[in-house]
Amino acid sequence: MTHHSEHMRMRPVLEKARAYDIATNPDPQAIFEAGGGGFQIWATADDHPKGWEELRLDAGSFSKPCGYVGSVHWGWGVDEHAEQITHLVLSTTAYILADQKPEKFTRYIFTKARGKGLTPIQDRPADITWAKKKIHWLFKQAGVPCPPIVVERGG
């Protein structure tokens, strides 16, 4: 396996993500934004993780009102002496929940670079559960077996 052959193996997934692109497709199932080595997942008023009820969503430059849920990128590993895509790496950040309900969906952290400040909750269980369902659905649409999904920060 080469990096090229592995990217070609995932090409149908990215093509489906582009077909279901939230920026251009008003279809209710269009909640993806493809990149070179993965994709982002967005929620809408009608299709969202638990806890997103009553949020105010904005379309911005997209085809419909939405909010960012998470990001998926290819996870690389060595299998049978060749580097290949062995898993998917999922990370979620509750930006819209943090913006609209900061008392519940942010926490204070301290870093040397930024000091003390509010940060959105990451890898919320409801966001992870919902995102995994959407990932499996996208891979099924593409006709590609879905690799195991690993949550980036361990949530």
Give yes or no for a contact between 75 and 95, defined as CB atoms under 8 angstroms apart.
Answer: no
CB-based burial label for 111 (10 Å; 0-12, 13-18, 19+) = exposed
* Residue span of the structural domain in which 47 resides: 3-151
Give yes or no for a contact between 66 and 57, defined as CB atoms under 8 angstroms apart.
Answer: yes
Q: Can you read off the two tokens belonging to residue 18?
A: 């582009």
User: How many structural domains does the chain have?
Assistant: 1
pTM of the predicted structure, to 2 decimals: 0.88
Q: What is the pLDDT along the chain (155 residues), one digit of tens a residue?
A: 677 788 788 999 999 999 999 999 999 999 999 998 999 999 999 999 999 998 999 988 899 999 999 999 999 987 677 788 899 999 999 899 888 888 788 766 655 655 556 678 889 999 999 999 999 999 999 999 999 999 977 54
Give yes or no for a contact between 150 and 70, defined as CB atoms under 8 angstroms apart.
Answer: no
